Amino acid sequence: MTPEVLTSQQRLDRLDALRELLERRGLRVAPTRVGQYLKALTQFVALAGQRELEHHEFDDYLFTLREVDELLWVFKGLRVHEPAGALEKVEKALGGQRFSSEDLNSTARNYLFELRIASYFLQAGFKVEMGDEADLTVRVDEATVHIECKRPESPTKVRARAKEALRQLKRRFESDVTGRSLGLVAVDVGRILHPAQGLAVGVTAQLARDGLRAQLLKFDDEYQLGQVFRDETRILSVWLQVLTPVLHVVEQQPATRFSSLHLPLVPEFGQQWRIFNRLRSAFELA
């Protein structure tokens, strides 16, 4: 998924609106990453009116856009509805280093990933809860879908994080006396596909999308995460996602790609398939 095309000034304006919202809610934004991005975007906008960016400046610009676009995506969902507990997660998500590649502690961006996935469901009109029981909970008709969000930090951790999600979801199922709980696992594979958290280049937006999708398919072929969950029939799917700054050569348009691959784990009939299909309105944003 590619967010709407925004100019640097539009991004700056929207990020400043996010700052104002958070400060009205009592959060100190200036010392966080948001403050750094506001300063950087202000400088980029000023430079754009004077000269072309040098190579290192343009790289810095693309990585800044990647971070800003993720925050604006979260903000877009929270403007539809702010679940209880979301503000606390936003506060935690604003920590960490300026760029993902610089982070030695992944805690802040783990929270940001939960907020990113929540935004899909919020934008699609689902009721989302962000409490302690699961990373996210989405109500779909009579069912409760618990969502566990994982960001494996290395290839050796991929299946370990999947097994952790399985254990967590099994505990959710066991504690639900109604027997109507289902599960979904969202996995950010960015640090596996792009260990240096670099950028991608595509001749066109279509080719960039196809290239990233091919990487996700290769990841699935190599790690076969569906096998981890094959004996737990209440888990609907595995959702793989990678977030990448991209330069489209022909259009000369920098953008951020939110690329996804959904791996359904349930038969294509019955109640679980029906609920999975109800969730498609959120999935299709990806």
Span 19-50, pLDDT tens digits:
999 999 999 998 999 999 999 999 999 987 78
- pLDDT at position 253 over 80: no
pTM summary value: 0.93
DSSP string, 116-160: HHHHHHHHTT-EEE-SSSSSEEEEETTEEEEEEEE--SSGGGHHH
CA contacts within 13 A on the Cβ side of 148: 24
Distance of CA 134 to the CA centre of its chain: 16
Across 242-256, average pLDDT: 76
pLDDT at 244: 87
pLDDT at 52: 84
User: What is the bridge-based pairing of β-strands 235-248 and 181-188?
Assistant: parallel
Across 59-87, average pLDDT: 92
- pLDDT at position 216 over 60: yes
Across 210-228, average pLDDT: 95
Strand, helix or coil for residue 30: coil
What is the dihedral sign for C-alpha 149, 274, 123, 138? Answer: negative
User: Which of 277, 166, 169, 268 minimizes the C-alpha distance to 227?
Assistant: 166
What Cα–Cα distance (Å) separates residue 261 from each residue in 1, 113, 146, 212, 219? 11, 16, 19, 10, 10
- β partners of residue 138: 128, 145
User: Which of 212, 204, 195 minimizes the C-alpha distance to 249?
Assistant: 204
Where b means 16+ CB within 10 Å and e means fewer, 77-112 reads bbeeebbeebbebbbbbbbbeeebeebeebebbbbb
177 or 41: which leads in pLDDT: 41
